[in-house]
Amino acid sequence: MSATAPADTPDTNAAPHGPAHSPGETDSAEIKRLFDAQLDTAMTLRRSSARERIAKLKRLRALMFERREDIMAACHADFAKPAAEVEVTEILPVVEEAHHAMRKLKSWMKPERKRPTLLMLGTSARVINEPRGRCLIISPWNYPINLSFGPLVSAIAAGNTVILKPSELTPNCAQLMAEMIGELFDETEVAVVQGAVETSQSLLALPFDHMFFTGSPAVGKIVMRAAAEHLSSITLELGGKSPVIVDASANLTNAARTLVWGKFANNGQTCIAPDYVYVHEDVRQAFVEECINALDKLYGKTEGRAANGDYCRIVNQRHYERVRGLLDDARERGAQLATGDVPANDDRYVAPTLLTDVGDDARIMEEEIFGPLLPILTYRDLDAAIARINARPKPLALYIYAKDQGVIDQVVATTSAGGTCINTAMLHFLHGQLPFGGVNNSGIGNSHGHAGFKAFSHERSVLQDRFSLAFLFRPPYNAFTRWFIRFSVRWLS
């Protein structure tokens, strides 16, 4: 049964003077209906077995494969995303996530026995992972399928119901996901609700057991405030400015190749894209040249890049103007263009751009770039570069390029970030055994693999008394119980 609630269907609950929702939004009454309808299923799913959940994941995984051409077409229609990039960054991570969960689910679901501590001798205890219940997933547009279906895999593995709201900025992907979910699930188990801010806010007004949000820190705060109203648990996968340190000891060719790929894939619209680089002064020139060579290898020569089908586009005109604004502002404040800014007969094309001599006062050094512009700054003193990184909010990712282990250890020990790659970029996202998430401004909680399963589970402690001595801690406090309590305190002190 289709779980889609397209916004422009006739609204039977409409107020006499017009619909209760704006065009493109889903009516709040429809959202409430879906939420209520999922209650019974959430209760039933508590008792679902690993085998039943695995069967659902298997169907989702198979459908991803069957509909891969449609996924590619939707991503292309939304932001000209190259087909191969869709396979690598939208389809592969989801099928891998499902594959991993299917293999591990039995062990993840097993209650974890806990040995008694001294005070609790005579009890048996275990931790069970119970489903959180009714979950909400709100996703962004930049990896529309991956960041919707990835968390969905974890939510299903953990035995929850889900209402998923994809981003309105990638409407073709949102519509496709609604169709796919409608094919696989009854709306009482998983439903896709389409819409923008108004729809999101109607959803956030409901007492979901868990809210899993991926998006900007600014909207993350709105989600956290809404969750506070119901004390819903939350996972916030946010963004920010992810720095890179390129030490003088680094293999510059490798650094340039991996960074250029990490930066310009998806047109720089990646939460863990390298946002800005601190390169050691002595190797700056060589590093910039290596980056230019790497760009030639990835996307061909400068003039032909706009026509290269492997290069994605900015998602919409508003974001195009935002990115152009950052570039123009940086140049007005003295930034030099190492490469980029080639005019093209294309509304949403921004050439892969490397900037040097970027001033700290430029806007590009304040906000998350989320586009194909890479400021390359220099340092001489590593401590000073680290201090400048630490002066900003904690990033989602931090990348280190060095052969000198001392430098690597120093950077890891003296900074904080959601995740770090050494001598490569972005690969930690694809490692199913690593928790993926941010820290403070870049996020709260983790996703992926076991961490994703745990995000959608409540760790419930279950203690069973067999022959414990707990009765000796209760009144009446006679001479013997007082002696026993004092003895226990002394014994453990």
Q: Does 142 bind ligand NAD (CB under 6 A)?
A: yes
Is 173 a residue of the active site?
no
Q: Does 438 bind ligand NAD (CB under 6 A)?
A: yes
* Minimum CB–partner distance for residue 7 and ligand NAD (Å): 13
Burial zone of 297 (CB within 10 Å; 0-12 exposed, 13-18 middle, 19+ buried): exposed
Closest by Cα among 277, 268, 442 to 370: 268
23-34: b or e for each residue (b if 16 or more CB lie within 10 Å)? eebbbbebbeeb
Q: Does 354 bind ligand NAD (CB under 6 A)?
A: no
Helix (H, G, I), strand (E, B) or coil at 450: helix
Q: Which of 88, 222, 337, 422 forms a contact with ligand NAD (CB under 6 A)?
A: 222
Q: Which of 197, 307, 384, 387 forms a contact with ligand NAD (CB under 6 A)?
A: 197
Is 237 a residue of the active site?
yes
d(CA 357, CA 337): 9
Sign of the C-alpha dihedral computed for residues 322, 324, 328 and 331 taken in this order: positive
Strand order of the sheet with strand 123-131? 112-114, 123-131, 457-465
Q: Does 153 bind ligand NAD (CB under 6 A)?
A: no
Fill in the per-residue mask, 55 to 94: x = in contact with ligand NAD (CB under 6 A), - = not in contact: ----------------------------------------
Q: Does 440 bind ligand NAD (CB under 6 A)?
A: no
d(CA 385, CA 373): 20
Q: Which of 7, 71, 246, 271 forms a contact with ligand NAD (CB under 6 A)?
A: 271
- The count of chain residues that interact with ligand NAD, using the rule CB under 6 A, is 27
The beta strand positions in 200-349, using DSSP E, are: 210-214, 233-237, 242-246, 274-280, 336-339
Q: Does 274 bind ligand NAD (CB under 6 A)?
A: no
* Minimum CB–partner distance for residue 419 and ligand NAD (Å): 10
Contact between residue 485 and residue 473 where contact means Cβ atoms under 8 Å apart: yes
Q: Does 165 bind ligand NAD (CB under 6 A)?
A: yes
DSSP labels, 383-421? HHHHHHHHTSPPPSEEEEE-S-HHHHHHHHHH---SEEE
Residues 75, 135, 271, 291: which is the catalytic one?
A: 271
The pair of three-digit structure tokens given for residue 156, joined into one six-digit string: 């299903």
Q: Which of 216, 249, 424, 481 forms a contact with ligand NAD (CB under 6 A)?
A: 216
Which of the ranges 57-65, 234-242, 383-391, 453-461 carries the binding residues for ligand NAD, by CB under 6 A?
234-242
Q: Does 125 bind ligand NAD (CB under 6 A)?
A: no
Which of the ranges 110-118, 133-141, 340-348, 406-414 carries the binding residues for ligand NAD, by CB under 6 A?
133-141
Q: Does 237 bind ligand NAD (CB under 6 A)?
A: yes
d(CA 327, CA 330): 5
Q: Does 140 bind ligand NAD (CB under 6 A)?
A: yes
Q: Which of 28, 38, 167, 415 forms a contact with ligand NAD (CB under 6 A)?
A: 167
Helix (H, G, I), strand (E, B) or coil at 309: coil
The residue at minimum Cβ distance from ligand NAD is 239
Residues 189, 237, 290, 368: which is the catalytic one?
A: 237
Q: Does 449 bind ligand NAD (CB under 6 A)?
A: no
Contact between residue 314 and residue 267 where contact means Cβ atoms under 8 Å apart: yes
- Give the chain's length: 493
Q: Does 443 bind ligand NAD (CB under 6 A)?
A: yes
Q: Which of 131, 239, 274, 449 forms a contact with ligand NAD (CB under 6 A)?
A: 239
Q: What is the DSSP letter of 237?
A: E
* Contacts with ligand NAD, residue ranges (CB under 6 A): 138-142, 147, 165, 167-168, 196-197, 200-201, 214-216, 219, 222, 237-239, 271, 368, 370, 396, 438, 443
Catalytic sites, residue numbers: 237, 271
